[in-house]
């Protein structure tokens, strides 16, 4: 699939996927780091 990123719908499709990854993996990394830090003696 080719997303040329020229029109508004194409841009919004990319933005939507980026928002999902940013929030999910950002929060996931934040929780994982807290978990790793608390495991230290």
Partner 1 sequence: MKTFSKARIFGLIWFGATALVLTIGFYKAMTAPTEATMGNLYRVFFYHLPHTILSFVFPYLNCGASLLYLFWRNRNPTRALAADAFALASAELTVLYASIGLATGMLWGRAAWGIWWTWDARLTTYLLLWLLYVSYLLLRRFAAPGQTAVLAAVLAIFAAIDIPICFMSIRWWRTQHPAPVFGGGADSGIDPGMVSAVLWNMLAWAMWGALILGLRYAVERHRQTSEAAVGLDFVRDQAFSPALEAR
Residues forming contacts to partner 1 in the complex (CB under 8 A) are 1, 3, 8-10, 12-13, 15-17, 19-20, 23-24, 27-28, 31-32, 34-35, 38
For residue 3, the minimal CB distance to partner 1 (Å) is: 7
Q: Rounded to whole angstroms, how far apart are CA atoms 12 and 6? A: 10
For residue 41, the minimal CB distance to partner 1 (Å) is: 12
For residue 9, the minimal CB distance to partner 1 (Å) is: 4
Rounded to a whole number of angstroms, the CA Rg of the chain reads 16
- 1, two tokens: 């699939």
């Amino acid at each position: 699939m080719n997303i040329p990123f020229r029109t508004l719908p194409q841009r919004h499709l990319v933005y939507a996927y980026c928002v999902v990854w940013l929030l999910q993996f950002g929060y996931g990394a934040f929780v994982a780091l807290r978990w790793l830090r608390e495991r230290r003696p």
